[in-house]
């Protein structure tokens, strides 16, 4: 296929349209505003519905309504906007409604900065809303992956009746890169016979709900959700390992830092230093088993977790997966400052001396 030059945010919107998105509800916030801007023009041309809501809270509740009626619904925002959507995301997960949520992350906490960051890892993987629930979290490291993952996210959401979040830092949303429009393999999806879209010759009304007043019933519902999350963990966990077969030092990173780490690997390998990269692609489910097995390899001496976060957030999951088998060190910045190749090279060299 021929390559086309696309800006990240506009490619996200086009990918959603090509995936059959029926409805988009959103509100402008830097650095993701080009997503709703593109949608406002092109989604109606494709027969879909675009609404710029009065707030992020309104947007996520519109997603709830459209998803409940069986539509392929989507919203996008940047970090503080996603915070405002968290109650609605909890409702969506509790009511088992499929939808796609895109977060072009910016620095925080609070209003922070409009520069790229990865400070929303906890919010995405732990769930910022109330109760026990999970969202599938996909983390691309370039525009091509972002396009592919957004298209795949709709099928994943429909298969498991669950929200799927695509998280990319603001740099990916703002950069321009050549991409190819790959045909996305279609899944054998279940019918949406649960949707609240009229009786349609049924002998009952479909009711969309996340309220269970009986504690025993609520407990059973949570157990049902846990069974579903276990299926997702078994079927959807993704990661990439680069030069890990003989690596003595392994860098763990996702998104843009993982991309920067590839250049650091080239530099270090050219100097004879055996370093590898382990990149989680699904932040939830986190590839803990694969990372645990890598940590147990005799040739691995230590890990260096690299993030665009002040003190590390994925760092917790890395440590839990490594489970004390090898030391885990950290390199990171926040507020829009990105770790550099030079910093990674220096940190690995220093770490190599410490673990010899």
Phi, psi of 159, rounded to the nearest 5 degrees: -65, -40
- Residue 256 burial class via C-beta count within 10 angstroms: exposed 0-12, middle 13-18, buried 19 and up: buried
Q: How confident is the model at residue 38 (pLDDT cuts 50, 70, 90)?
A: very high
Q: What is the mean pLDDT of residues 154-179?
A: 97
- Comparing 353 with 42, the larger pLDDT belongs to 42
Q: What single DSSP character describes residue 292?
A: H
Q: Is the pLDDT of residue 323 over 90?
A: yes
| 220-276 confidence digits (pLDDT tens) | 999 999 999 999 999 999 999 999 999 999 999 999 999 999 999 999 999 999 999
Asked if 129 and 142 count as a contact pair (C-beta separation under 8 A), the reply is: no
Q: What single DSSP character describes residue 202?
A: -
Asked if 308 and 273 count as a contact pair (C-beta separation under 8 A), the reply is: no
Phi, psi of 297, rounded to the nearest 5 degrees: -65, 140
pLDDT of residue 242: 98
Q: What is the mean pLDDT of residues 299-310?
A: 96
What does pLDDT average to over the chain? 96
pLDDT of residue 198: 85
Asked if 87 and 129 count as a contact pair (C-beta separation under 8 A), the reply is: yes
Residue 9 has which token pair?
Answer: 């945010």
Quick one: which of 180, 69, 169, 152 has its CA closest to 25?
69
Q: What is the mean pLDDT of residues 326-334?
A: 96
DSSP, collapsed to helix, strand or coil, labels residue 277 as strand
Distance of alpha carbon 78 from alpha carbon 145, whole angstroms: 19
Range in 5-9, 244-248, 307-311 the model is least confident about: 307-311
Q: Is the pLDDT of residue 128 over 90?
A: no
Q: What single DSSP character describes residue 280?
A: E
Q: Give Dmax over CA atoms of the chain in angstroms.
A: 72
Asked if 76 and 26 count as a contact pair (C-beta separation under 8 A), the reply is: yes
pLDDT of residue 17: 98
Degrees, nearest 5: CA angle 163-310-282 = 30
**pTM for this one?**
0.96
Q: How confident is the model at residue 120 (pLDDT cuts 50, 70, 90)?
A: very high
pLDDT of residue 184: 86
| 181-215 confidence digits (pLDDT tens) | 988 888 999 999 999 988 877 888 899 999 999 99
Q: What is the mean pLDDT of residues 137-146?
A: 97
| 67-88 confidence digits (pLDDT tens) | 999 999 999 999 999 999 999 9
- Residue 255 burial class via C-beta count within 10 angstroms: exposed 0-12, middle 13-18, buried 19 and up: buried
């Amino acid at each position: 296929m021929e390559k086309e030059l696309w800006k990240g945010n506009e490619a996200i919107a086009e990918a959603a349209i090509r995936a059959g998105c029926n409805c988009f509800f959103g509100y402008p916030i830097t650095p993701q505003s080009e997503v709703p801007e593109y949608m406002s023009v092109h989604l109606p041309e494709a027969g879909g519905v675009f609404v710029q809501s009065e707030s992020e809270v309104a947007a996520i509740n519109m997603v709830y309504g459209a998803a409940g009626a069986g539509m392929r619904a989507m919203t996008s925002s940047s970090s503080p906007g996603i915070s405002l959507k968290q109650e609605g995301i909890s409702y969506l997960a509790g009511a088992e409604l499929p939808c796609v949520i895109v977060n072009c992350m910016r620095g925080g906490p609070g209003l922070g900065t409009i520069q790229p960051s990865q400070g929303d890892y906890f919010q995405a993987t732990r769930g910022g809303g109330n109760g026990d629930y999970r969202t599938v979290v996909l983390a691309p490291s370039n525009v091509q992956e972002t396009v592919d993952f957004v298209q795949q996210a709709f099928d994943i959401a429909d298969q498991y009746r669950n929200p799927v979040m695509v998280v990319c830092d603001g740099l990916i949303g703002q950069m321009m890169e050549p991409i190819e429009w790959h045909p996305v393999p279609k899944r054998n999806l279940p019918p949406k016979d649960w949707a609240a879209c009229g009786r349609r010759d049924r002998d009952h009304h479909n009711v969309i709900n996340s309220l269970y007043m009986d504690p025993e019933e609520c407990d059973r519902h949570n157990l049902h959700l846990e069974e579903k999350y276990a299926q997702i963990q078994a079927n959807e966990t993704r990661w990439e390992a680069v030069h890990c077969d003989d690596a003595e030092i392994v860098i763990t990173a996702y998104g843009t830092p993982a991309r920067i780490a590839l250049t650091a690997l080239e530099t270090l390998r050219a100097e004879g230093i055996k370093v590898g990269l382990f990149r989680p692609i699904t932040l939830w489910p986190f590839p803990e088993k694969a990372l645990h097995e890598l940590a147990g390899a005799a040739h691995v001496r230590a890990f260096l977790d690299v993030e665009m976060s002040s003190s590390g957030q994925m760092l917790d999951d890395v440590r839990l997966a490594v489970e004390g088998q090898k030391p885990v060190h950290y390199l990171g910045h926040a507020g829009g400052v990105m770790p550099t190749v030079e910093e990674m090279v220096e940190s690995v060299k220093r770490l190599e001396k410490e673990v010899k």
